Amino acid sequence: MHVKDKVCVVTGAAGGIGEAVARAYAEAGARGVVVADLKTTRERLASVAGDIDGLAVTADVGLEEDIKALVAAAEAKYGPVDIFFSNAGLSRKGQETASDADWDVSWRVHVMSHVFAARALVPGMLARGSGYLLNTASAAGLLASLNSMPYGVTKNAAVALAEHLAIQYGDRGIRVSVLCPQSVQTGMTTPGPSAARVDGVMQPAEVARIVIEAMAEERFLILSHLQVQEYIQRKASNRDRWLAGMRRLRDRIYGAPPAA
């Protein structure tokens, strides 16, 4: 799908990948771009919307009523939504001992947000025979996140969810893609050791260029770093060997966990 003349919504658009893609949509000639993010980012969000002559809507994507209101605001201003980029995300460190609150927010923002968007948009897209659901997961959703179990597990679920949407609706006019970046320089990039950075850090504008290109080709899996394709193949061909490699990488980057 080409972005020209399309109505686009982007969540997590106050910075990073969301902001870069919102700007790229505007540059590609979108009819309208609606940018959404948390209330706490209101000023940055308004400045992005101002630059691209778009509409800023504050929304917590983990709440279904906020997603409904976001879609309603987009439709009221520009008409039916053609492209919904469900991209908001956050990082919560830790393993199974991470707090229930961290598990819950990771689940809501990385999984339920995409469910809420699909619920709000699929009926209209099916009726029109056209629409694009683009969800951000992560390379961690195809592989693992060595220093954050809530992140890795919920991003794996986000990839599975996109696959289910593509299976259900891919032959009924709804295009589905899942963006799985490796390391990108954004507000989420934290100092200190990082396994994700082994293949280099990409800039958000470069990711946005890749997204526009992949959407034109209607490619399901959108990678930033092409090495990830090889890692997926290694994982699929021998899980035990891949897990042993992940343990070695964990020890090299973060140090071996303390003995019990």
Ligand X SMILES: NC(=O)c1ccc[n+]([C@@H]2O[C@H](COP(=O)([O-])OP(=O)(O)OC[C@H]3O[C@@H](n4cnc5c(N)ncnc54)[C@H](O)[C@@H]3O)[C@@H](O)[C@H]2O)c1
One residue of 10, 81, 136, 177 binding ligand X per CB under 6 A: 136
One residue of 7, 10, 14, 52 binding ligand X per CB under 6 A: 14
In the set 78, 132, 151, 169, the catalytic residue is 151
Distance between CA atoms of residues 65 and 77, nearest Å: 18
Residue 214 found at the interface with ligand X (CB under 6 A): no
Distance between CA atoms of residues 211 and 213, nearest Å: 5
Residue 87 found at the interface with ligand X (CB under 6 A): yes
- Within the chain, strands assigned E span 7-11, 32-37, 55-58, 83-86, 131-136, 174-180, 221-223
* Residue with smaller CB distance to ligand X, 126 or 249: 249
Is 151 one of the annotated active-site residues of the chain? yes
One residue of 7, 22, 92, 138 binding ligand X per CB under 6 A: 138
Residue 131 found at the interface with ligand X (CB under 6 A): no
Residue 152 found at the interface with ligand X (CB under 6 A): no
One residue of 3, 6, 12, 142 binding ligand X per CB under 6 A: 12
Residue 54 found at the interface with ligand X (CB under 6 A): no
- Joined tokens for residue 34: 């609606």
- Joined tokens for residue 62: 């983990």
Residue 145 found at the interface with ligand X (CB under 6 A): no
Of 35-43, 69-77, 232-240, 248-256, the segment contacting ligand X by CB under 6 A is: 35-43
Q: Residue 197 has what DSSP assignment?
A: G
- Residue 204 phi, psi (nearest 5): -55, -35
Distance between CA atoms of residues 212 and 214, nearest Å: 6
The CA distances from residue 238 to 202, 233, 234, 241, in Å, are: 29, 9, 6, 6
* Residue with smaller CB distance to ligand X, 31 or 68: 68
Rounded to a whole number of angstroms, the minimum distance from the CB of residue 6 to ligand X is 21
Residue 221 found at the interface with ligand X (CB under 6 A): no
**Rounded to 5°, angle at Cα 137 from 158 and 154:** 45
Of 54-62, 70-78, 93-101, 240-248, the segment contacting ligand X by CB under 6 A is: 54-62
Contact between 20 and 205 under an 8 Å Cβ cutoff? The reply is: yes
Of 1-9, 10-18, 125-133, 241-249, the segment contacting ligand X by CB under 6 A is: 10-18
Active-site amino acid positions: 151
